[in-house]
Chain A
Amino acid sequence: MTTRFDMPVVGPALQVRFPDIARETQPNGLRVWAVPLPVLPVVTILLIVPRGSADDPTDRAGLASVTADMLDEGAGMRDAIELAAAFGRMGTHLEIETRADATFFSMTVLSRFLEPSLALLADIVRQPRLAPADFDRVRDLRLSRLRQLRQLAASVADRAYVSAIFGDHPYGHGSLGTTGSVEGISLDDVRSFWARQFGPGGATLIVSGATTTSDVVQAASVAFGGWDATPEPRPDDAAWTVPPPADARILLVDRPDAPQSELRVGHVGPPRSTPDFHALITMNAALGGQFTSRINRRLREEKGLTYGARTSFDLRRVAGSFTCETSVQADATAQAVADILVELEAIRGASVLTTAELAQAQASLTRGYVRNFETSAQIARATAQLAVHGLPDDTFDRFVPEVDALTAADVHDVAVRALSPAKATVVVVGDRALVGDSLAALGRIVAPVTVDL
């Protein structure tokens, strides 16, 4: 008989049914995808131009993001301030985000502003002013931002890590570039990048929320129908050779007197298109993707060495990465690195996931999946994954059954294949005088490095 103190039992996962996407392609090649939703009177607008920091010329790291910064510094009839004021009158502002594979322009507005906000967005991508005075200011602001980041341990660690694992690959630099590379960027570079890389062909406009397909198609046609630029074809992905995992090294960036050490441990990984997607996500949930995962349990909940530790697969278009990231108290740096490496090894063999751990990971992912599709912005972001990675429409509907179907063998196999602790790069941003010797005792080569920011 149950009592007041018996923990309630919950039901099975809800099957997620992603809303229908209505698609139309304009004569100029722009894909217009509408996702009407029964929500509050708001729409999320997301324009994806499939060019990003991976398209930076090798000697111009940061060019894609500087170009993105320049686009809303004046366009059409409006200067930078007037553009911001025009968005402000609709109670919104435009976010522009440069990632490795694509540039995202996004905003959420009251539905009644769908047309005028699309018109402003169209001005920004079609007729940016790219004026010299704005460029000087934007570049100076970028240089100041890079300078500020030198003191942010997490940014220093990210930068060192990305360079180490991807090397000369187009994914091997931060989207902001470096002081040196940004100083080398000219306004002509920006104008040329915009002219060569931005166009309707291959771009996708997503509108989700309280609207109709015909309203979206109509407003998009008015705003973008006359966009006639033809971007250069993207280089063949196959030409991008992903470097093999580097030799296991510990890269130590000195941060004197730092009370914590910022850590990154990991290596290159598969792209989003991997057939292992569901197994990777599930294995990661048990390893380090959640609060109760092995690594956070060990470093935080058992030892109290950190505010939190997590692992993730960053699954990009051409390749990806697996990373454990955390910031640990300085005197426990080597211990934390050792613990992380032990956990990465354990899940591959010495201590495979128990039946209970696997069931917990599956249950949390499948039962919690419905939480990802609540707001218009969440639906737009999900739809964007389909656009960027060319995924089928049933991608989200398949998630719950695919994760449910995984066996212990599937998850173990993927851990063996996708984790390479013996070859993992370790980045430590910490007090070298304090942590250097204990790191050396781990038996890996410790290489002091500096970071270009």
Chain B
Amino acid sequence: MRIDVSKITLANGLDVLVHEDHRVPLAAVSLWYHVGSKNERPGLTGLAHLFEHLMFEGAEHQPSGFFQPLQEAGASLNGSTSPDRTNYWELVPKSALRLALWMEADRMGWLLPALSQARFETQRGVVLNERRQNYENRPYGLAQFALMDALYPDTHPYQWPTIGRPADLAVATLDDVRAFFTRYYHPGNASLAVAGDVDTREVVELATELFGDIPAGPPVPPVVVPPVSRVARRLQLEDRVELPRLYLAWISPALFAPDDAALDMVADLVGNGRTSRLYRRLVHDRRVAVELAAAQGSRELDGLFQIVASAAPGHSLDEVEAAIYDEIDRFVDDGPTADEVAREHAQAEATFVMRLQSLGGFGGKADQINAYNVHRGVPDSFDADLGRYLNTTGADLAAAAGRWLVRDRATALAVVPHGRGDLVIAGADRTPVRVS
């Protein structure tokens, strides 16, 4: 599954990646800035994400804002911020490729003159409402905040939520935003990918013309990562929910590190979908749980392996937790069956092919090429990435689960309905968890 990607680096440090795919007359633009909430500091959390909002408010030569010219050109567009990176994309009819690149170049080079106190304050309000909508006013919406807060020390870059703490957002200033832009939003900290019905030479010329005169920025300061305690915590959180839910979380390998792909497969076999061991036992056979999911969430500095299950009415989280450890033990001791491994390999192959159907958007080809370039330095890593899955054996899976999913290292969080502390897990710390 070779994907031809041309890569050049402009004199100012901008990586330009081009992939031709002439199936449909579209062009996908993806621009990654290698900055996320991990680059923030306590007291000023949420800045990377708030900044992403401001990138859509228009730059110096965009009097009608960022959205309008692109929408009028038939684009769909969006952006997102994670702990590790911020990405922006436009999917356009191919005749609008120049416009999309021009718009991105303008906000990379000329955003600050268009920033105003009014735009800043409005978007701060929007972000606070995004936080209310997606976290505060949503069942279990604060669970991940509580987990990160418990798993990491206060100065660890993954300790705070990407959306930010309201108190920090309240004290952020326009000067903070300007400094953030100067430090992180420049060609040397960015990667531009274009995929679609385009000509590689033309795209390189366009990128050189439109981005080449943006000055290289300062080197990005390294992220300081304090040591993480492996001491397991047991926590409870009361929330506006109906059913008690258990979160089990382990610090796990970083993206592309050894065991990352294996744990991704372990998550499927143990806790995703009807064929998973926990579904069969907890939901199908014994009916003690009603919702179940598992994931290896891998990031740049480390990963987080999580198993999440809601107890069925009349059943306890302790029952659920005991069954989870029991199934992990069995998986480690006996290993997966040949059929389980075959299914995981089939799933990997199908997923990798299907992901190549979309040029743009989150997870489309341009976005994937950028992810590989930013995290591995090699934009065409499709085969290498798929190989991580296809070359993993059943013995590898059992060994990875044994190394990482150790009971004594699991941090457990029970989310229970308000006033129902009686539904919490055994041994939970009764002090309220921090969820800011």
Contacts and interface: CB of A to CB of B under 8 A. Distances in A.
B241 A14 contact: no
A150 B93 contact: no
B409 to A, nearest CB: 30
A303 B99 CA distance: 29
Interface string B348-361: 11110110111100
A306 B130 CA distance: 7
B122 interface: yes
Interface string A79-118: 0110011001111110000000000000011100000000
A328 B132 CA distance: 9
A368 B99 CA distance: 14
8 nearest CB pairs, A to B: A304-B125, A367-B74, A91-B350, A368-B74, A11-B95, A84-B274, A91-B346, A307-B130
A386 interface: no
Interface in B221-255: 240-243
A234 interface: no
A42 B240 contact: no
Interface in B84-103: 91, 93, 95-96, 98-99, 102
Interface in B295-315: 310, 312-313
A371 B99 contact: no
Given A7-B61, A258-B137, A260-B133, A370 B71 contact: no
Interface in A369-425: 369-371, 373-377
B273 interface: yes
Given A137-B287, A374-B359, 8 more contacts: A147-B242, A150-B242, A304-B123, A360-B68, A364-B71, A368-B76, A368-B93, A370-B26
Nearest to B101: A8
Chain B interface size, as a band, is 35 or more
B69 A304 contact: no
Interface of B: 23-26, 60-62, 65, 67-69, 71-76, 91, 93, 95-96, 98-99, 102, 106, 121-126, 128-130, 132-134, 136-139, 210, 213, 240-243, 273-275, 280, 283-284, 287, 290-291, 310, 312-313, 339, 342-343, 346-351, 353-354, 356-359
A304 B275 contact: no
Interface string A126-157: 00000000000100110011011011110000
Nearest to B349: A91
Among B95, B274, B349, chain A packs the most CB atoms within 10 A around the CB of B274
B263 to A, nearest CB: 19
Contact of A89 (B60, B67, B346): B346
A140 B122 CA distance: 45
Contacts of B274: 80-81, 84
8 contacts: A7-B69, A9-B99, A89-B346, A109-B350, A137-B283, A302-B122, A367-B96, A374-B23
B273 A84 contact: yes
A88 B336 CA distance: 15
Nearest to A306: B129
Nearest to B343: A88
A305 interface: yes
A93 B268 CA distance: 13
Interface of A: 4-11, 13-14, 38-42, 80-81, 84-85, 88-93, 108-110, 137, 140-141, 144-145, 147-148, 150-153, 258-260, 262, 290-292, 300-307, 327-329, 360, 363-364, 366-371, 373-377
B356 A40 contact: yes
Nearest to B138: A152
Contacts of B359: 374
B67 A291 contact: yes
B342 A370 contact: no
A41 B354 CA distance: 9
Contacts of B310: 144, 148
A366 B121 CA distance: 34
B95 A259 contact: no
Contact of A42 (B242, B287, B348, B354): B354
A108 B67 CA distance: 33
A5 B210 CA distance: 9
